[in-house]
Structure 1
Amino acid sequence: MRLFGYARVSTGQQSLEIQLKALKDAGVEEHRLFKDKATGSHIERSGLEALRQKVEQGDVILVKKLDRLGRDTADMVNLIKEFSNQGVSIRFLDDGISTEGAMGKMVITILAAVAEAERARILERTNEGRLEAKAKGIQFGRKPSIDSAKIKQLYEAGMGATEIAKQMKIGRSTVYKLLNCK
């Protein structure tokens, strides 16, 4: 039996270190660690694909948490089936569950469905909050671009950089930067 580890974070700004440390502490060797910095909403991930190619019958894959393997219930069930058909089991360290045995597979399927439902509720609450904020007049997105022609016009009319910055609601350094570029 060989131990493999899989770690995933959703964005490049997040760190894999906590997951990787837990996997190493559980006995996974460095060269058997597979990782992704990608969303868990689909299974087309380079680290997961490499892991799928590497494991063989009798191997065990360790994952820190259930949602690190994936978020979509159908994908999770298919991955578990795929690994199970290869004779590979999966253990989730924080959840204390494993695909070894029928009961473990059932529990994982249920937990994956719960994780997917929770993700849907989070998105729903986020969208409700965004709509409420818009109704209150809060604007989203990039700030409008700076009218450099107006800045130049104000400067040529004798207005100082500090006053231009206050009027245009921008930094004084931005005023100087735009004036030097023109």
Structure 2
Amino acid sequence: MRLFGYARVSTSQQSLDIQIKALKEAGVKPSRIFTDKESGSHTIRAGLDLLRLKVEEGDLILVKKLDRLGRDTGDMIQLIKEFDRLGVAVRFMDDGISTEGEMGKMIVTILSAVAQAERMRILERTNEGRQEAMSKGVRFGRKRSVDRKRVRELHDEGMGATEIAKVMGIARSTVYKVLTTTGDALPV
């Protein structure tokens, strides 16, 4: 039996260090650790694909946590079945579960479904909170960087939109937007 490891983070700004350290401490050789820095929402990932090619019957894949292998219950089940067909077991170190047996496969399926349901609840609560904040006047997005007062002053001094845009270093459409949202209108 050979040990392999798989580690994944969702974005390139996140670090794999903690997962890789845990895999090494569990006895996985560095050359047998496969990693990805992308979302687990799909099963086509470079590191995971390479791992699929390397494992053989009797091998064991260690993964620090259940959600590192995948996010979606259907994808997790598909991956586990794929590894099972190859005769390869998957052990989730932090969760204390493994696919090395029928009970283990069932538990993994249940836990991945629960994890997916929790992610959906979090998303729903986040969206509800965002909607409530918006109804109270909270604005989302980046802060305005145009000096709206200065645009209006230049317009009041008789400057045209093209000239204001050049002076302010902004697009002419932005000048129009500033002036029309405040009730001012440019002469045609």
**Superposition map of 1:19-34 within 5 A:** 19-34=19-34
Gaps of 5+ in 2: 158-165, 171-188
**Superposition map of 1:1-182 within 5 A:** 1-147=1-147, 150=150
Moved over 4 A (4+): 178-182
Name the % identity: 67
TM-score (norm 2): 0.78
CA distance in 2, matches of 1:180, 1:135: 33
Give the direction of change, closer, same or farther, for the CA distance of 1:116–1:50 in structure 2 (3 Å limit).
same
The letter for the 1-side match of 2:132 is E
Secondary structure, aligned partner of 1:43: coil
Residue 181 of structure 1: CA displacement? 7.3
CA distance in 2, matches of 1:109, 1:15: 27
Give the direction of change, closer, same or farther, for the CA distance of 1:131–1:181 in structure 2 (3 Å limit).
closer
Aligned length: 160
Residue 150 of structure 1: CA displacement? 3.5
Query: Computing the radius of gyration over CA atoms, which structure comes out larger, 1 or 2?
Result: 2
TM-score (norm 1): 0.80
The letter for the 1-side match of 2:81 is K
Give the direction of change, closer, same or farther, for the CA distance of 1:65–1:148 in structure 2 (3 Å limit).
same
Secondary structure, aligned partner of 1:106: helix
The letter for the 2-side match of 1:142 is R
CA distance in 1, matches of 2:2, 2:70: 22
CA distance in 2, matches of 1:37, 1:70: 12
The letter for the 2-side match of 1:44 is I
Secondary structure, aligned partner of 2:140: coil
The range that moved more, 33-42 or 80-89, is 33-42
Residue 37 of structure 1: CA displacement? 1.0
CA distance in 2, matches of 1:14, 1:31: 21
Residue 148 of structure 1: CA displacement? 8.7
CA distance in 2, matches of 1:23, 1:179: 58
Secondary structure, aligned partner of 1:142: coil
CA distance in 1, matches of 2:119, 2:48: 21
